[in-house]
Homo-oligomer: A and B are copies of this chain.
Amino acid sequence: MTGNDTKAARAADDLTAGGWALPAGAVGTHRFTPKFEAVIAGLQARLTALGGTEGPVWHPPVLSRSLIDRAEYAESFPHLLGSVNAMDEDADGVVLAPAACYPVYPGLADGTVEEQAHFDVAGYCYRHEATSELGRFRTFRMREFVTVGADEPVTAWRDGWIERAAKLFAELGVAVDIVSATDPFFGPGGRFMRASQLEQDLKYEFVAKVSPEDPGTAIASANCHKDHLGARFAVRLPDGGTAHSACAAFGLERIALALINAHGDDLNDWPALAAALPTPGSPA
């Protein structure tokens, strides 16, 4: 094992010793105990309150290949996509969902959004991660708030979520750095757009420690997609322009790890607003 693998194994062992998780065999996978799931359920309820919704629509862990092709995901992140292959191949191929939000767009595709549309979704995501440090999940649950509409209100909505998420993490006692980030989201030409992406402040990440030796892991993000997805799915504005979109995404397992790292294994030691999270018997 490399030094990093040893650290990852130690961090995973700590999680088991704390009663949060059990080994699951494959790299980047865990089995989560009722104690851990109660925290996840509490986070879900808190996010529902924060979003002012009735709760998320749960999206399936697999998506049609054609959906993800239209979103051009594989052109941006070819190495992370998990394709599902079965003995009996057919035309209706599926891939593992790389993010929770994609099934929102076909419902808007080739149409016009008359007014700004809002969505609250959740689902299991898969990313074929190459490294094994704790928190580098291959499979994880993501809660996402999504909006689709005109550029300015979409950006204002995203900025509102930056404030709301910052307040949430402060209440939960999780120290976060809010950093302007880039990713190759905008397709094969993306690497040439990084400077521009930073200048435009399209992506903010909430970075926290998910284990003692963690230099920092993104536990949530708030992102403007510009008209990238609007163009892919031919979503129009009433004035004929292409719709913009934005999302606020919360990595539920990573937030739980950040809470555990911040407050320890005994829920009695957690500060009041964090200790109020666990919702027993309601696995999320």
Contact = CB atoms under 8 A, between A and B. Distances in A.
B81 A283 contact: no
A143 B13 CA distance: 26
A61 B61 contact: yes
Quick one: copies of this chain in the complex? 2
Q: Which interface class (under 10, 10 to 19, 20 to 34, 35 or more) fits A?
A: 35 or more
Contact of A84 (B27, B34, B48, B126): B126
Closest 4 pairs between A and B when the two form their complex, measured CB to CB: A282-B282, A34-B55, A86-B128, A26-B64
11 contacts: A25-B64, A29-B60, A32-B57, A34-B53, A37-B56, A44-B281, A55-B281, A81-B86, A82-B86, A88-B130, A96-B96
Interface of A: 22-27, 29-34, 36-38, 41, 44-45, 48, 53-64, 66-67, 78-88, 90, 92, 94, 96, 103, 106-107, 121-122, 124, 126, 128, 130, 138-139, 279-284
A282 B86 contact: no
A22 B64 CA distance: 15
A102 to B, nearest CB: 9
Contact of A124 (B38, B45, B61, B67): B61
Nearest to A48: B281
A54 B37 CA distance: 11
Contacts of A38: 55
A63 B283 contact: no
Most B CB within 10 A of own CB, among A31, A33, A41, A44: A31
Contact of A31 (B37, B60, B139): B60
A91 B66 CA distance: 28
Nearest to A96: B84
A279 B64 CA distance: 30
B103 A24 contact: yes
